[in-house]
Amino acid sequence: MAFSFTQLPAELALEIIRVASLPDYGGFTAPRPSYATAVSMASVSRAMRTATMPHLLHTVVLASSPQVLSFIDSILLQKRLATASSPLALDYPKLVRRFWSSECWEARMGDSPDYRIDYATLYEVIRGVDCLGLNFRALHLLYNSLAIPSADLARDWKCRRVILAGSSLPRWKPLTSSTEGMIFLSRITHLTLWITADHLLPPRDDTRRVPRWIDDVPFAFLPALTHLAFPLAANGANGNSDIQAPTGTLVYIAPINDVSLAGADFTPCDFRQWALSSDPLGHGTLVPFCHSVPMLDLANELGWEFLFVAGEADAAWVPGDRLHGIHGEDEEGERDMDWE
């Protein structure tokens, strides 16, 4: 029997819109989900657009430089609509709760004028997200945004959860060598390092290795850090020295969630000591990846993007928080927008 959607109770109609807006995953071979249904709904009417767009914009995943430029252009368009008092205007920075960029090359001398990145506009988005994730191939989006003249990190930077990923060694210098970078680091409470560089310490046992780069993490610049997570790589089978794709995350959590109460009993530098100790697993929780990634593609690093879309970073904190009696806010992690 046919019925009018508008005759449904508002709560039920909004829940239907939310469920229909969730991404259609094509599996690991196509980790960037389809939003065809949500896009169609947003084109029905102004009311449907208003109800659908927060779900579309909840998690933004930008896979390439053109997508970064298109996303910034979209924000600028919304600003023009707002200036014209258009009912179609949306506050993108307010709606984006999770942001990720897999790759974006910094503009070079001689590049086309069309290849320009408006870091000031991007800063308006990333300063207030709940979770910021960047591959090292897009790290300039962070440090150039932090350096814009209009930025006031002490007043308007709200993001506390950060994910840095990549197959190369971490690049901390752009952040530790500037005032704005140090302010950014000082605000981080949850840091996930999805790094697969093969610079590893000698194996602590027959199955796991701790990454050597953990010794270079600038914990002294991270006074608010209470949560640290990084992958452990498995040794190859039969004693083979080759390193397989990571299969789990080692999660460290400060003994007291409020560092200000921990005093001299704990500092973030203790995370390094735990990792380099004779029993690194004894100080933390080893969390397997909840979402199946049978072949983590480290060549183009789509695997980390997939895990971000699936909310893997937030899920990794849950077991450790429970052990420490920490009850965090529930976060939705399975929504993204692919800007093509």
Report the C-alpha gap between 233 and 304 in whole angstroms.
14
- Averaged pLDDT, 169-178: 88
Largest CA distance in the chain: 68
Helix (H) or strand (E) holding 69: helix 65-83
Nearest one of 312, 321, 190 to 247, comparing CA atoms: 312
Q: Per-domain residue ranges for the chain?
A: 9-14+33-57, 58-338
Report the C-alpha gap between 54 and 58 in whole angstroms.
6
Provide the pairing of β-strand 190-195 with 98-101: unpaired
User: Would you say 225 and 219 are in contact if contact means Cβ atoms under 8 Å apart?
Assistant: yes
List pLDDT tens digits, range 145-159. Answer: 999 999 999 999 999
Report the C-alpha gap between 17 and 62 in whole angstroms.
24
pLDDT interval class at 328 (50, 70, 90): low
pLDDT of residue 149: 94
Provide the pairing of β-strand 190-195 with 227-234: parallel
Nearest one of 238, 256, 230 to 312, comparing CA atoms: 230
List pLDDT tens digits, range 19-66. Answer: 877 766 555 455 565 677 878 888 888 888 888 888 888 988 898 899
pTM to 2 decimal places: 0.83
The tally of CA atoms less than 13 A away on the side-chain side of residue 186 is 10
